[in-house]
């Protein structure tokens, strides 16, 4: 109960800017309206799009509401909150299984994303979480070209108190991955996180490098990597959504992590990404602290956004 309460408070605080913008916009559209009609839905459509929900997802929501209005004939404007909550919940629920590391043997997890999204920091926070759960965790610095990347991950390994693998700056990232997997196997590690270069989604060479890391890892463990997590800066709104689509086309992404949702009003992007991509959101980042990466749960997220009280 304490853990739930702690996560819930972090979520409430981290989404405050998104909640404020969301609530103010909805209040404006409801003001002076007695029923949900065509004009009302048009105004709502604009609100959802400007809240970074995304055009395709917004259209789905509006279509569903139109069908509801046609069926029920008269819907009061004050009922909008619950209607909207229900429709969004239907679109994004059951798309968020948590990251599982309960299988036997070493679990290899690649972490990818563009520079500046908070990728290396996220690796450090994940390491801390799994160490707290009693897992033996190791970090590998396969981002070998960005100045300071290896040192940054080393600092996080010290903070999380987990072992760390690196080679010289400028080394082949696939060699780092290979070395790390071999060492992790020897030391009976449970979870190995491999931090990769902050590759641009349109850079073919960097995508080929990622494919090479995957091939090398498979030589030791054929079913690895067990997860490939894409880290996105939630504060960039629709840009994060475009990155997710392009990365998903280029490699087999198994989960998403949205960072920096605190201090941004663009949290609506979570809804669009959940709906449009067949990739679950595993975690959301709501602060800079080591504990500020929380598992994503649809109900908890929507309860916070709509300011409902969770049991």
**Cβ atoms of residues 249 and 217 within 8 Å:** no
- Residue range 227-235: mean pLDDT, rounded: 90
* 66-75, 210-219, 256-265, 280-289: least confidently modelled range: 66-75
Q: Which residue would you say has higher pLDDT here, 130 or 99?
A: 130
- The rounded Cα 213 to chain-centroid distance in angstroms is 22
Beta strands in the chain (DSSP E): 107-112, 137-142, 164-165, 191-196, 227-233, 255-259, 281-285, 293-295
What is the pLDDT averaged over residues 268-282? 83
Over 70: is that where the pLDDT of 102 sits? no
Question: Is the peptide bond prior to 225 cis by the omega test (within 30 degrees of 0)?
Answer: yes
End-to-end CA distance of the chain: 11
| Alpha-carbon span 153 to 44, nearest angstrom | 44
State mean pLDDT over 139-153.
Answer: 92
User: What is residue 59's predicted lDDT score, i.e. its pLDDT?
Assistant: 94
Give the residue with greater pLDDT, 21 vs 232: 232
Distance CA 166, CA 144 (A): 8
| Beta pairing, strands 281-285 & 255-259 | parallel
Q: Is 188 exposed, middle or buried (0-12, 13-18, 19+ CB in 10 A)?
A: exposed
What integer pLDDT is reported at residue 6 of this predicted model? 54
Taking only the tens place, the pLDDT of each residue in 198-207 is 766 556 677 7
Q: What is the pTM of this model?
A: 0.85
Residues forming beta bridges with residue 229, ordered by sequence position: 111, 255
């Amino acid at each position: 109960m304490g853990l739930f309460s702690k996560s819930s408070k972090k979520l409430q605080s981290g989404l405050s800017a998104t909640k404020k913008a969301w609530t103010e916009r909805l209040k404006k559209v409801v003001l002076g309206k007695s029923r949900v009609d065509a004009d009302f839905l048009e105004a709502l459509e604009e609100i959802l799009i400007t809240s970074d929900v995304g055009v395709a997802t917004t259209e789905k929501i509006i279509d569903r509401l139109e069908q509801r209005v046609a069926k029920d004939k008269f819907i009061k404007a004050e009922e909008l909150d619950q209607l909207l909550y229900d429709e969004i919940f239907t679109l994004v629920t059951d798309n968020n299984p948590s990251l599982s590391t309960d299988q036997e043997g070493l679990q290899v997890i690649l972490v990818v994303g563009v520079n500046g999204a908070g990728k290396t920091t996220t690796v450090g926070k994940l390491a801390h979480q799994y160490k707290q759960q009693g897992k033996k965790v190791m970090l590998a610095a396969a981002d070998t070209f960005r100045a300071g990347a290896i040192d940054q991950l080393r600092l996080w390994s010290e903070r999380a108190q987990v072992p760390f693998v690196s080679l010289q700056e400028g080394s082949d990232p696939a060699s780092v991955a290979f070395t790390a997997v071999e060492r992790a196997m020897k030391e009976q590690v449970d979870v190995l996180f491999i931090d990769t270069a902050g590759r641009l989604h349109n850079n073919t060479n960097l995508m080929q490098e990622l494919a090479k890391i995957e091939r090398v890892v498979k030589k030791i463990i054929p079913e690895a990597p067990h997860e490939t997590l894409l880290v996105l800066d939630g504060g960039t709104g629709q840009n994060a959504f475009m990155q997710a689509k392009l990365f998903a086309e280029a490699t087999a992404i198994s989960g998403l992590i949205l960072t920096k949702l605190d201090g941004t009003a663009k949290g609506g992007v979570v809804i669009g990404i959940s709906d449009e991509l067949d990739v679950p959101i595993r975690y959301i980042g709501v602060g800079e602290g080591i504990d500020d990466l929380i598992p994503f749960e649809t109900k908890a997220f929507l309860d916070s956004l709509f300011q409902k009280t969770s049991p």
